[in-house]
Structures are given as C-alpha cells and as structure tokens.
C-alpha cells in the first residue's frame, strides 16, 4: 500500500491545495499580473520557491508534504495580506492566494483541530 493511500481525506485535500497554490502563483506571476520592472520568470521562480519542498514531497508521496505545505502557506498568507493592503486594484488575485493559504492550513490541521475542539470531557456522562 502506498503512503498516499494512508493519508486521510483532509490531508489529501491539503495536498490538492498545495498543488493549486503552485498553479495559482505561476498563473498570477506569468499571465494575470506580471511585474512591470522585473522579469516574469524570475518573479515566478521567487514566488514559487516557498512551496517547492512540499510539491516535491507530494510527488514522492511523503506525508510530511502537508506540514511543509502549511509552513509555506503561512508565507503566502502574509504575502496575500500585504498585496491586499498595498495593491487594492488587483484585490481578486491576493484574495485567491489568501483563500488557498487558509485552505492548506485548515485542511492540513483539521484532524488536530477536530480532536482539540470536539474533545469530549470524560467526567461528563450522557
């Protein structure tokens, strides 16, 4: 049995979010809103850099891809907030990045959140 089949549904959704984030970053930097005074390819490579480790781990079906994707998602979250604040004219682009970063963080951590938030108190009967 492969290691990917051992991943739960939320973890698989997190891996899907990691791949979507990589596609979104490339689409944004190369086509939708390329930088005016910087080469497109360099901008795309720099924007893609944080997610590359989790992409490679996903390709090799490693469960740690979700952890590293969550770490990269925090970088993209900060970037999206900064872009929303400084470039309101392109607000839909960072809004998608913000959504994807939250998607990765919450789906990657859903099992832990679920265990913490919905934990039953053993002292309470009923």
Tokens of 29: 């930097």
How far apart, in whole angstroms, are the C-alpha atoms of residue 81 and residue 60? Answer: 31
In this predicted structure, the answer to whether residue 119 has a pLDDT above a threshold of 80 is no
The mean per-residue pLDDT over the stretch 40-54 comes to: 96
Q: What is the pTM of this model?
A: 0.86
pLDDT of amino acid 66: 95
Compare 121 and 117 and report the one with higher pLDDT.
117
Q: What are phi and psi of 13, to 5 degrees?
A: -65, -35
Closest by CA position to 48, among listed 66, 70, 30, 67:
30
The mean per-residue pLDDT over the stretch 46-56 comes to: 96
């Amino acid at each position: 049995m492969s290691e990917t089949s051992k991943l739960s549904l939320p973890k698989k959704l997190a891996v899907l979010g990691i791949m979507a984030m990589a596609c979104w970053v490339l689409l944004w930097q190369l086509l939708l809103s390329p930088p005016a005074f910087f080469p497109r390819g360099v901008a795309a490579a720099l924007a893609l850099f944080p997610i590359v480790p989790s992409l490679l781990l996903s390709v090799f079906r490693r469960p740690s891809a979700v952890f590293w994707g969550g770490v990269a998602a925090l970088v993209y979250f900060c970037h999206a907030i900064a872009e929303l604040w400084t470039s309101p004219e392109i607000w839909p682009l960072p809004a998608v990045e913000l959504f994807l970063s939250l998607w990765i963080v919450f789906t990657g951590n859903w099992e832990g959140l679920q265990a913490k938030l919905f934990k039953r108190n053993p002292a309470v009967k009923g």
